[in-house]
Amino acid sequence: MARLTVPLGAAAGVLAIDQATKAFIIDVVMQPVRIITVTPFFNLKLGYNRGISFGLFDGVLSGVPFKLSVLLLMVAAAILWAATQCRSRLDQMALGAIAGGAVGNAFDRMRHGGVTDFLDFHAGGWHWPTFNLADVAICMGAGLLAARAFAQPVDTTKQSDHDEGQ
């Protein structure tokens, strides 16, 4: 149970912040719905992603938000289980952040039929796909796991079976 405290806490924190920011954007900031220029390269722009990452398969998946939500919730549960197998608290936090972001996006699909996105970065005429804080948590968690995997020291003292036979 102790190994579940860190990832569950990270997941709950991400979920709370994600859902609070989305509610604030929908209920307060975007009344009426419009594009709000914050800086020359950043806008607040409300949208609903009915596809998967970056709006892929929007037309194909727009009719099955509940099924996609259930799949996301199952993936989040599997990620939390995997976090309980980790010894590193940093890895547990990273996996918890990923799970919390997945749950936040799943809740959006159930309530709105798509993921609520509102962060719009752009340069010139090019716009990065609009995203939200759940997406940020998922990317940060995955990035942290990748960085830790690449930063692991390679054990050069252990020889392979092939080397031993020569």
Please identify every residue annotated as catalytic.
117, 135
| R_g of the chain computed on alpha carbons | 19
Burial class (CB in 10 A: 0-12, 13-18, 19+), 62: middle
* 80 neighbors 95 (Cβ within 8 angstroms): yes
Hunting for tokens 């990273």 — which residue is that? 94
Sheet order of strands, 35-39 included: 35-39, 42-49, 115-123, 126-127
SS3 of residue 91 by DSSP? helix
* 68 neighbors 109 (Cβ within 8 angstroms): yes
Return d(Cα 17, Cα 101) in angstroms, integer: 10
